[in-house]
């Protein structure tokens, strides 16, 4: 049987998700196995499916890491199992990435592979610092070198090159400076060290060959890029203006279900936020399809189909297809949806809703319903347990005959991940967002589980963290469980919640 597995050796770029290539992003979303290096930004890991196997192989100087031969074996083994494997390397795979050894192992095992370029810190770090590597008057050429074995390099030749870009060299900075000075480089040659390029914590240290070692003594510099040459002096003129995005430097915790958080993450990142994800919901099929199947078999008897969530849309149409039907089965049935996200999900099914209430909440649907409800037969696919009952009650009170059917269920994850729990404990989070009452309840349950159900410890843990709600019902649940809510969206959408956070942090600066 033909092996359909393939290995993609992907450059992760310089750090932030914004600088990942489109091809890299696509492959991460499709990966079945992800094998990644320690320097890869954690935000990139949020792109992979929850079902993707993630393997951290380290590969950072001076720290424990998986032996290269074992990494090669992992790539081959998973590819031969027919998996789509992404080998994620910081920067670009072909720049100090040891990719040759991995490709040789794949070729020997007759495994298909593809190399996907990434933006290397060699080019990006100087750019972020405002340092051009070439300049008509100051630099006709530049050389890129690894500084972790300075004794192997020809310093006489390197000293004659206009601009030097050094990776992995901060531990040997004093030795590098000594060798360049000994080979004739002038003592007041400008030097820049760019640490954590592209990230909010980026820092730039400048000096000369004479004083750069003293200027950075005792400072943790790695990961960093060293630039030596006259072009360093241009940084003050050419460096980009600091980001004016309001959420720059803020860390926002998103509690939506894993498969629903990408849009919200993108909205927040556009305003400069660092986003951490803690899925407080797990979306899954209902305990039984029987009642939904019966409703689908009798679709012609209904006047209206009401959909109040993107999950309801996805699971209803997935089941429709499973039963051999498609959108044509809804001929003669009008569709009402609650919320822009629900409407957009329906539109991806090539259907336009007949009615969207103006306030994006279920309560508004009854108040603004376009037809007399008396005698209307309504099909309502919904979450199996835990949804609000007020909509069905009000529709029924108005004389409608409502058939509720479970289309999916949402549960609470077993525990908080170690990364998120550490961020909460170390006060690294500025705001927590809630897009439904259920996410509030599940978050509360998970945190209390860690704290031994102590309300005092809960209050202390969330102190100085902004609690942000998507709408009135979610805010009410925040008040019940946390005794406060700091931000409520005026428009009850993810866009509205983003705007509310931007306004909040604008006012407290």
Give the residue numbers annotated as catalytic, written as ranges. Answer: 37, 59, 168
Q: Is residue 138 within 8 Å of 230, Cβ to Cβ?
A: yes
Q: Prior bond to 308 cis, omega within 30?
A: no
User: Which is nearest to 275 in space by CA: 32, 3, 497, 90?
Assistant: 497
d(CA 62, CA 286): 49
Three-state SS string across 36-83, please?
A: ECCCCCHHHHCCCCCCCEEEECCCCCCCCCCCHHHHHHHHHHHHHCCC
d(CA 185, CA 413): 60
User: Which is nearest to 76 in space by CA: 56, 100, 103?
Assistant: 103
User: Which is nearest to 366 in space by CA: 410, 398, 337, 335?
Assistant: 398
User: Which is nearest to 34 in space by CA: 4, 75, 94, 5?
Assistant: 75
Residue 405 β-bridge partners: 381
- Do the bridges between strand 274-277 and strand 203-208 make them parallel or antiparallel, or are there none, so unpaired? unpaired
What per-residue string of b and e applies to 24-38 under the rule 16 or more CB within 10 Å gives b? beebbeebbbbbbbe
d(CA 4, CA 13): 27
């Amino acid at each position: 049987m033909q092996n359909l597995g393939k290995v993609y050796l992907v450059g992760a770029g310089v750090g932030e998700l914004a600088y990942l290539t489109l091809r890299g992003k696509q492959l991460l979303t499709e990966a079945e196995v992800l094998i990644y290096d320690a320097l890869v930004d954690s935000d990139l890991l949020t792109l992979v499916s929850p079902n993707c196997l993630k393997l951290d192989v380290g590969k950072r100087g001076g720290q424990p890491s998986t032996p290269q031969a074992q990494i090669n074996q992992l790539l081959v083994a998973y590819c031969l199992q027919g998996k789509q494997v992404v080998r994620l390397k910081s920067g670009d795979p072909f720049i100090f990435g040891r990719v040759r050894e991995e490709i040789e192992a794949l070729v020997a095992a007759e495994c298909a592979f593809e190399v996907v370029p990434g933006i290397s810190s060699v080019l990006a770090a100087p750019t972020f610092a405002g340092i051009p590597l070439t300049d008509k008057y100051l630099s006709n050429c530049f050389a890129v070198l690894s500084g972790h074995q300075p004794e192997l390099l020809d310093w006489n030749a390197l000293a004659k090159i206009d601009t030097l870009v050094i990776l992995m060299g901060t531990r040997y900075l004093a030795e590098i400076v000594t060798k360049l000075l000994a080979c004739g480089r002038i003592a007041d040659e400008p030097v820049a060290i760019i640490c954590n390029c592209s990230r909010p914590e980026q820092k730039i240290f400048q000096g000369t060959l004479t004083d750069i070692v003293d200027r950075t003594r005792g400072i943790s510099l790695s990961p960093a890029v060293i630039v030596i040459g006259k072009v360093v002096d241009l940084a003050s003129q050419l460096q980009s203006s600091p980001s004016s995005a309001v959420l720059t430097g803020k860390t926002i915790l998103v509690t939506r279900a894993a498969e629903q958080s990408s849009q919200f993450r993108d909205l927040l990142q556009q305003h400069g936020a660092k986003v951490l994800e803690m899925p407080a919901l797990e979306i899954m099929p209902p305990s039984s399809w029987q009642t939904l199947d019966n409703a689908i078999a009798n679709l012609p008897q209904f006047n209206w189909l009401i959909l109040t969530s993107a999950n309801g849309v996805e699971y209803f149409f997935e089941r429709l297809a499973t039963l051999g039907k498609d959108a044509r089965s809804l001929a003669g049935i009008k569709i009402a949806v609650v919320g822009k996200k629900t409407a957009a999900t329906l539109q991806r099914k090539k259907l336009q809703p007949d009615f969207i209430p103006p306030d994006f909440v279920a309560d508004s649907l009854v108040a603004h319903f376009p037809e007399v409800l008396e005698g209307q037969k309504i099909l309502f696919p919904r979450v199996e347990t835990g949804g609000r009952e007020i909509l069905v009650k009000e529709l029924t009170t108005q004389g409608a005959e409502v058939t509720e059917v479970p289309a999916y269920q949402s549960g609470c994850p077993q525990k908080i991940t170690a990364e998120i729990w550490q961020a909460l404990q170390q006060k690294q989070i500025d705001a927590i967002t809630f897009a439904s009452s259920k996410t509030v309840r599940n978050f509360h349950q998970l945190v209390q589980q860690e704290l031994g159900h102590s309300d005092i410890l809960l209050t202390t843990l969330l102190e100085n963290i902004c609690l942000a709600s998507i709408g009135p019902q979610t805010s009410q649940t925040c008040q019940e469980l946390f005794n406060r809510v700091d931000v409520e969206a005026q428009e009850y959408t993810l866009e509205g919640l983003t705007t509310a956070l931007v306004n909040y942090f604008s006012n407290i600066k």
